[in-house]
């Protein structure tokens, strides 16, 4: 990086920090309460919700990790993005109306209202462990790889810098500081991503332009543009054929977009259901665009920087090809994605611990005290993430696949618990605990059997199979041992699944685009 690149990065850092403090300032002497800090006062507009959903999602593990997967296995990895667009529409139409009608602030809170405190306690602890030891550590580690590769700064130093900056910029304002600055972060991310795609394809095209570069890429590596992998593909185990359309990927996506605190928290902060659904629709279209930004550079790296020792080096190496000034802008975009997603995770960790753990133990705590506890929790989470990042991810070949493998242990049980809780009145507390614990145990058993060669199965198929087995077990438990004491206080009265004409038209557009994409690269 040259001086101009560091100047651009410095301008970004100062501007985004200042903007976060300004949008989340206390007005008229009002002091932040827990709703202000954790849910932005339930006043988020649709554009902030849509942008913040993407900013929370697209970070180092997406940009670095999915580019690495694009380098290793091709465009097929884009199914995670494209099928997520359809999943978002389902979440907006069927899940959000129930959550907002019941004034839900956290996912463990919903579980308590539906199943009682035991299920809430189990899942709150699970999510805290997952967010700190998988999500935080992966973003910190992959973000530090990018910074080290581009700038030459020591990786551990870079890791500490991004962790501290992400913590500091959202520590005072909470979710409002994060969500209302994410529109800037996402705009920068998209701009920077499109620049690196344009320049890389133009270089591959050797003067023929972007279209010529893309055609050269598809002709030289046609196997990298197969969306549905055949059984003889060496990466079939990562993306097993039609399972990306009809199998376990649905379980992964529904869990992530529908029941994941640091994602759904943005929509829970909406002023009403219509605003939340408009934000969801915006996020769905941005998801359709993401593979262009995060997967295509990895495929282009096969031509421009072949022979990489690790696939996750693809995006940082591509950034090295950029001219001064442009490199600073693209690098600022990458840092923006890292910081925005880190801040989202940090805030959600603080939200769950404060509202679902601490407030239940220390009943009667003042609003101001809860906000203070949230800030202390945020600091502690970042410290743990910084310390554990290298031990957990230092030897991972493809960090994105590592994350999917780990979360795949728990997502089947989570989806069973929520789907039955939302749409089946007879689901019991015992069935939810069976799903939570049994789903993880089954996933672990299949994982061990696969490693031993006893029962070899792609992890996505494992997720689908465990979901079906866990669902059957939960339904059986509910039927055999009905709930003796009523614990369900989730109300479906007055919940409407009717959506506006605008949302319906947007949804139809997403479906048409997906059909065209998969028909083109089947």
Return d(Cα 296, Cα 198) in angstroms, integer. 10
pLDDT in tens, 280-301: 999 999 999 999 998 999 999 9
Cα-atom radius of gyration of the chain, to the nearest Å?
A: 22
- Do the domain assignments include residue 458? no
pLDDT at 269: 86
- Do the domain assignments include residue 464? no
Better-scored residue on pLDDT, 85 or 324: 85
Residues 287, 289, 295, 297: is their CA dihedral positive or negative? negative
pLDDT in tens, 449-468: 988 888 888 888 999 999 99
* Residue 382 token pair: 């970042």
Better-scored residue on pLDDT, 303 or 338: 303
pLDDT at 95: 94
Could you give the angle at which helices 60-73 and 137-151 cross, rounded to 10 degrees?
70
pLDDT at 192: 85
pLDDT at 400: 57
- Do the domain assignments include residue 448? no
Give the pLDDT band of residue 438 (cuts 50, 70, 90): very high
Lowest mean pLDDT among 26-30, 109-113, 171-175, 479-483: 26-30
Domain count, the chain: 1
Q: Could you list the residue range(s) of the whole structural domain that residue 296 is in?
A: 3-398+500-520
Mean pLDDT for 485-504 is 87
pLDDT at 30: 63
Better-scored residue on pLDDT, 25 or 192: 192
Return d(Cα 399, Cα 138) in angstroms, integer. 7
pLDDT in tens, 53-69: 988 888 766 787 788 88
Return d(Cα 478, Cα 472) in angstroms, integer. 10
Per-residue b or e along 249-271, where b marks 16 or more CB atoms closer than 10 Å to that residue's CB: bbbbbbbbbbbbbbbbbbbbbbb
pLDDT in tens, 91-118: 999 999 999 999 888 899 999 999 989 8
Give the pLDDT band of residue 279 (cuts 50, 70, 90): very high
- Do the domain assignments include residue 440? no
Return d(Cα 463, Cα 162) in angstroms, integer. 33
- Do the domain assignments include residue 103? yes
φ/ψ (deg, to 5) at 44: -70, 135
Number of H helices, E strands in the chain: 28, 0
Supply the mean pLDDT for the chain: 87
- Do the domain assignments include residue 468? no
pLDDT at 404: 67
Query: Which CATH number belongs to the domain containing residue 46 in this structure?
Result: 1.20.1730.10
Lowest mean pLDDT among 5-9, 70-74, 404-408: 404-408
* 297: enclosing H helix or E strand: helix 296-304
Sequential DSSP letters for 17-68: HHHHHHHT---TTPPP-HHHHHHGGG-B-HHHHHHHHHHHHSSHHHHHHHHH
Return d(Cα 91, Cα 119) in angstroms, integer. 22
Residue whose tokens read 């031993």: 452
- Do the domain assignments include residue 441? no
Q: Does 265 score more than 70 pLDDT?
A: yes
Residue whose tokens read 């902060």: 269
Give the N- to C-terminal CA distance of the chain in Å, as an integer: 40
- Do the domain assignments include residue 414? no
């Amino acid at each position: 990086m040259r001086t101009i690149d560091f100047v651009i990065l410095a301008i970004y850092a100062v501007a985004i920090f200042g903007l976060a403090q300004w949008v989340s300032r206390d007005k008229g002497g009002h002091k932040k309460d827990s709703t202000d800090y954790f849910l932005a006062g339930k006043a988020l507009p649709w554009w902030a919700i849509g942008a913040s959903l993407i900013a929370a999602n697209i970070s180092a593990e997406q940009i670095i990790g999915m580019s690495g997967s694009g380098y290793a296995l091709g465009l097929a990895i884009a199914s995670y993005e494209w099928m997520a667009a359809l999943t978002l529409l389902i979440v907006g139409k069927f899940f959000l109306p129930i959550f907002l009608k019941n004034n839900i602030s956290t996912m463990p809170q919903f579980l308590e209202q539906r199943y009682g405190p035991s299920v809430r306690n189990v899942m709150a602890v699970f999510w805290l462990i997952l967010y700190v030891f998988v999500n935080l550590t992966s973003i910190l580690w992959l973000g530090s790889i990018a910074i080290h590769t581009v700038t030459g700064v020591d990786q551990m130093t870079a890791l500490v810098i991004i962790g501290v900056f992400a913590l500091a910029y959202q520590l005072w304002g909470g979710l409002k500081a994060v969500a209302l600055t994410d529109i800037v972060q996402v705009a920068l991310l998209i701009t920077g991503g499109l620049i690196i795609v344009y320049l890389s394809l133009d270089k591959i095209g050797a003067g023929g332009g972007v279209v010529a570069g893309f055609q050269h890429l598809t002709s030289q590596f046609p196997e990298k543009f197969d969306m549905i992998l055949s059984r003889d593909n060496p990466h079939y185990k990562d993306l097993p054929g039609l399972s990306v359309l009809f199998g376990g990927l649905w379980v992964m996506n529904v869990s992530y977009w529908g029941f994941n605190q640091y994602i759904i928290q943005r929509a829970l902060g909406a002023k009403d259901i219509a605003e939340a659904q408009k934000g969801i629709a915006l996020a769905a279209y941005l998801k359709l665009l993401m593979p262009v930004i995060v997967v295509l550079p990895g495929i282009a790296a096969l031509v421009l920087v072949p022979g990489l020792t690790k696939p996750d080096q693809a995006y940082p190496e591509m950034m090295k090809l950029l001219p001064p000034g442009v490199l600073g802008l693209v690098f600022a975009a990458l840092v923006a994605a890292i910081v925005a997603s880190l801040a989202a995770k940090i805030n959600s960790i603080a939200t769950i611990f404060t509202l679902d753990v601490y407030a239940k133990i220390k009943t009667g705590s003042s609003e101001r005290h809860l906000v203070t506890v949230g800030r202390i929790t945020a600091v502690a989470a970042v410290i743990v993430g910084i310390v554990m990042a290298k031990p957990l991810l230092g030897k991972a070949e493809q960090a994105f696949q590592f994350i999917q493998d780990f979360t795949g242990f728990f997502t089947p049980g989570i989806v069973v618990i929520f789907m039955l809780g939302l749409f089946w009145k007879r689901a019991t507390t015992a069935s939810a605990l069976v799903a939570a614990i049994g789903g993880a145990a089954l996933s672990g058993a299949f994982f061990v059997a696969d490693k031993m060669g006893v029962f070899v199965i792609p992890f996505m198929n494992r997720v689908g199979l465990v979901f079906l087995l866990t669902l059957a077990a939960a339904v059986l438990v509910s039927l055999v041992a009905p709930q003796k004491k009523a614990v369900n206080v989730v109300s479906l009265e007055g919940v409407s699944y009717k959506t506006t004409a605008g949302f319906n038209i947007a949804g139809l557009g997403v479906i048409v685009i997906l059909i065209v994409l998969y028909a083109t690269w089947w």
